[in-house]
């Protein structure tokens, strides 16, 4: 996809590189992340308007530290070096980088020396920033002057207004840096001269044209999962090619209560998209009968899914493409922390189906983060209850039943989960958590209901906050809210007499229980 104003972010292995991309895109400017050692190719392909050099766990003076090809500095492009990125500029262009005598990690207050710089436009005389590196500059690179400092570090922001090169010692992309978004905005618009043209409308229009050109008269198959990404992908691809899109929805019976029906209604009735729903409950329950091992459950579900999908997909004549809701974090090539070698993250595809069926991949969201897909979905009129839906694992409720899976257990868990989720929504907490769900334990315990002794099931409620699912914290939900939900569950779901709340973070726990 070609964008008039693209920012190239060169990744040197910082844990914050994706955040830089988020901050740039929030300004309606398109950007891509590429490993530092593929900079030459990236410049050739993207024709960027400016370059941002990311941070890194390395020190520039360390043997084998990641350094870009020098030719990238010969294109007269504006550059913003962030932390290690700034140290790269100093190291290569006549400055000096040393381990700081007094290390500044975490919060620091900076004072501005040159308020007239366009890079600092609209910022107060001093504000708080977030530092995360042991090194700092003891001499700026040639042609640069310092425009902000701290008490310990004289070169916290440096500029070369002639070349339009800038360096910041801290991380403007993290929320702990006050006015970080303003600094990025100033770089994009005041320094690099970008226009804020990358909007949801422009994305949709450009993608529709691109999909039409790519696909031509071919048929496209798209597997719906009930989640945000595949549903929004279906709607977008349908806008582009109408009835050449064939959606297949394998309902394995392990989804949340009502979810299968909601997806079917939206896709079929609201958008009139061709949809084949395969109700395969019995097949999956039979396959899972008696299985307790989590990995075995996943393998069985994965294999059955591929078998069913494959059989259905083969019935679509003229199919050349497999549409998928793959997101940007799945395809970014990341720089490894151990050394400047490049690893490629594996793509989420339907178990090798494209190769097996000789299909080409159509992935309209390869360039987007999940939040951006939500915005596109809202723009395309996809209902809020789908667009804002929490992530849900492919193997579904099977990995939230900590024992063998039966239809009765699934029904019980669906009812418990439904009460939890609908109360989160009704009381306004749903959007505050990344994911919330219930787990059915293989444990009975003693309780009392009326005058009767009970001996029934325990369910665990889990709600976590997270930005990407990689790390997570348990959500500090209100006690009264939890008490209310617990009462409803025990009163309304037969077979449950005890509710617990999971207060483990990830790591060391994981989000799911299996
Ligand atoms: P964990 O449990 O590893 O989960 O902390 C991280 C995120 O991934 C989701 N998850 C899955 N998603 N297939 C999926 O599509 C899976 O097998 C699977 N297992 C975990 C989980 O719900 C959380 O959002």
Can you give the pLDDT at residue 358?
A: 82
Instruction: Please state the φ and ψ torsions of residue 440, each to the nearest 5 degrees.
Output: -100, 120
The string of pLDDT tens digits covering residues 61-115 is 999 999 999 999 999 999 999 999 999 999 999 999 999 766 677 889 999 999 9
Q: Do domains 6-191 and 200-387 have the same CATH topology?
A: yes
CATH number attached to the domain at 406-501? 3.30.300.10
Can you give the pLDDT at residue 175?
A: 86
**Residue extents of the structural domains in the chain:** 6-191, 200-387, 406-501
Number of H helices, E strands in the chain: 15, 22
User: How far, in Å, CA of 100 to CA of 94, rounded?
Assistant: 18
Assign 3-class secondary structure to 22-81.
HHHHHCCCEEEEEEHHHHHHHHHHHCCCEEEECCCCCCCCCCCCCCCCHHHHHCCCCEEE
The string of pLDDT tens digits covering residues 212-257 is 999 999 999 999 998 999 999 999 999 999 999 999 999 999 999 9
Report the Cα–Cα distance between both ends of the chain, in Å, rounded: 39
Mean pLDDT, the chain, integer: 93
The string of pLDDT tens digits covering residues 444-472 is 999 998 889 999 999 999 999 987 788 89
CATH fold group of domain 200-387: Rossmann fold (3.40.50)
* Pocket perturbation via mutation, ligand 1, pick of 469, 472, 507 by most ligand atoms within 8 A of CB: 469
In degrees, to the nearest 5, what angle opens at C-alpha 189 toward C-alphas 187 and 190? Answer: 70
CATH fold group of domain 6-191: Rossmann fold (3.40.50)
Residue 512 near ligand 1, beta carbon < 6 Å = yes
CA atoms within a 13 Å half-sphere pointing along the CA-CB vector of 185: 12
Residue 294 near ligand 1, beta carbon < 6 Å = no
Can you give the pLDDT at residue 259?
A: 92
The string of pLDDT tens digits covering residues 106-121 is 889 999 999 999 999 9
The string of pLDDT tens digits covering residues 164-179 is 999 999 999 998 899 9
User: Backbone dihedral region of 396: left (phi > 0), alpha (psi from -120 to 50 degrees) or beta?
Assistant: left
* Pocket perturbation via mutation, ligand 1, pick of 304, 326, 393 by most ligand atoms within 8 A of CB: 393
CA of 393 to the centre of ligand 1 (A): 5
Find how far residue 481's CA is from the centre of its chain.
29
> Is the confidence at residue 350, as pLDDT, over 50?
no
Joined tokens for residue 69: 């090809």
Find how far residue 341's CA is from the centre of its chain.
23
């Amino acid at each position: 996809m070609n964008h008039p104003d693209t920012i190239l972010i060169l990744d040197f292995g910082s844990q914050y590189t994706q955040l830089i991309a988020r901050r740039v895109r929030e300004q309606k400017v398109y950007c891509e992340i590429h490993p530092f050692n593929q900079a030459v190719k990236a410049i050739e392909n993207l024709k960027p308007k400016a370059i941002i050099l990311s941070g890194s766990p390395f020190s520039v003076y360390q043997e084998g530290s990641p350094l870009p090809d020098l030719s990238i500095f010969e294109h007269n492009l504006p550059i913003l070096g962030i932390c290690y990125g700034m140290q790269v500029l100093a190291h290569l262009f006549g400055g000096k980088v040393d381990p700081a005598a007094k290390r500044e990690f975490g919060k620091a207050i900076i004072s501005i020396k040159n308020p007239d710089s366009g890079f600092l436009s609209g910022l107060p005389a001093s504000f708080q920033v977030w530092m995360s590196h042991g090194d700092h500059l003891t001499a700026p690179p040639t042609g640069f002057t310092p425009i902000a400092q701290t008490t310990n570090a004289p070169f916290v922001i440096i500029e070369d207004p002639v070349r339009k090169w800038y360096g910041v010692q801290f991380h403007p992309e993290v929320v702990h840096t006050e006015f970080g978004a303003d600094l990025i905005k100033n770089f994009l618009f005041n320094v690099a001269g970008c226009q804020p043209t990358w909007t949801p409308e422009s994305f949709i229009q450009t993608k529709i044209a691109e999909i039409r050109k790519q696909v031509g008269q071919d048929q496209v198959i798209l597997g719906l999962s009930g989640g945000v990404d595949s549903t929004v992908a279906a709607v977008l691809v349908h806008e582009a090619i109408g009835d050449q899109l064939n959606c297949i929805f394998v309902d394995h019976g392990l989804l949340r209560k009502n979810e299968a029906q909601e997806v079917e209604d939206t896709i079929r009735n609201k958008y009139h998209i061709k949809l084949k729903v395969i109700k395969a409950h019995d097949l999956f329950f039979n396959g899972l009968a008696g299985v307790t091992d989590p990995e075995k459950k996943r393998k069985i579900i994965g294999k059955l899914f591929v078998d069913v999908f494959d059989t259905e997909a083969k019935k679509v004549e003229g199919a050349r493409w497999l549409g998928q809701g793959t997101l940007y974090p799945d395809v970014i090539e990341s720089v490894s922390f151990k050394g400047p070698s490049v690893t490629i993250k594996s793509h989420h595809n339907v178990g090798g189906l494209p190769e097996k069926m000789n299909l080409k991949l159509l992935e309209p969201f390869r360039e987007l983060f999940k939040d951006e897909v939500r915005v596109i979905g809202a723009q395309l009129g996809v209902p809020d209850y789908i667009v804002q839906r929490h992530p849900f694992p492919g193997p579904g409720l099977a990995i939230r039943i900590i024992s063998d899976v039966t239809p009765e257990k699934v029904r019980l868990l669906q009812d418990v989960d439904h009460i939890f989720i609908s109360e989160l929504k009704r009381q306004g907490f749903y959007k505050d958590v990344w994911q919330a769900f219930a787990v059915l334990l293989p444990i009975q315990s003693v309780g009392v209901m009326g005058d009767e002794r009970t001996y029934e099931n325990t369910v665990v409620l889990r709600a976590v906050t997270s930005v990407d699912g990689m790390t997570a914290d348990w959500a500090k939900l209100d006690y009264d809210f939890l008490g209310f939900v617990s009462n409803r569950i025990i009163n309304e779901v037969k077979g449950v007499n005890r509710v617990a709340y999971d207060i483990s973070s990830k790591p060391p726990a994981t989000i799911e229980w299996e």
